[in-house]
Amino acid sequence: MAKNMNNHLENLQKDIFLKNDGYGVPAFDRMLNPLYRGALAGPDGYARVTGPCGDTMEIFLRFDHDRINEASFETDGCGSSALCGSFAAEMALGKTPDELLGVTGDAILEKMGGAPEKEQHCAHLAGETLQEALSSYMINNVPPNEK
């Protein structure tokens, strides 16, 4: 009985959320199960970017043979920025630096299934921070003969 009630409430919450807020189903599911949050010690790539809204996003990347094998985020921002950071970290996993260039704010929004217009800048902040973290990795890994 309690389980049925919980399922019913979860479905109701999902309906209200999807109708009123403009997020997609993947974003809703991630909200219930946030992933990839927390700092990585000694990352190979790292960036901290403050968006025009004043919120800050951090992205941590660890590479293994030029592919990302660990990624995470932190933010002091809203729930939406946490969602976007989570998708950015997830989308980074397994990618090479070249492939990572495709993980932009627009790609994050598409993966989330959309977001309300007023929250879309959160995805662009996550995408920009990810690209900055990639740059920090690239700068630190220039072969000695190319420096």
Q: How far is the CB of 52 from ligand FES (least distance, A)?
A: 8
Of residues 44 and 133, the one with the C-beta less far from ligand FES: 133
Interface with ligand FES: number of residues (CB under 6 A): 10
Contacts of 73 (CB under 8 A, 6+ apart): 36, 37, 57, 58, 59, 60, 82, 85, 86, 88, 89, 126, 129
- Enumerate residues 16-55 that contact ligand FES by CB under 6 A: 51, 53, 55
Of residues 70 and 110, the one with the C-beta less far from ligand FES: 110
Residue nearest to ligand FES (CB): 53
Binding mask 95-134 for ligand FES (x = CB under 6 A): --------------------------xx--x---------
Q: How far is the CB of 53 from ligand FES (least distance, A)?
A: 3
Please name which of 40, 104, 51 lies closest in space to residue 77, comparing C-alpha atoms. Answer: 51
Distance CA(41)–CA(18), nearest Å, equals 36
Distance CA(14)–CA(29), nearest Å, equals 9
Of residues 45 and 77, the one with the C-beta less far from ligand FES: 77
CA dihedral over 19, 20, 22, 23, signed as positive or negative: negative
Distance CA(131)–CA(101), nearest Å, equals 7
Under 8 Å between Cβ of 134 and 100: yes
Question: Which position among 16, 35, 78, 93 is part of the footprint of ligand FES (CB under 6 A)?
Answer: 78
Q: How far is the CB of 135 from ligand FES (least distance, A)?
A: 20
Which residues are at the interface with ligand FES (CB under 6 A)? Answer: 51, 53, 55, 77-78, 80-81, 121-122, 125
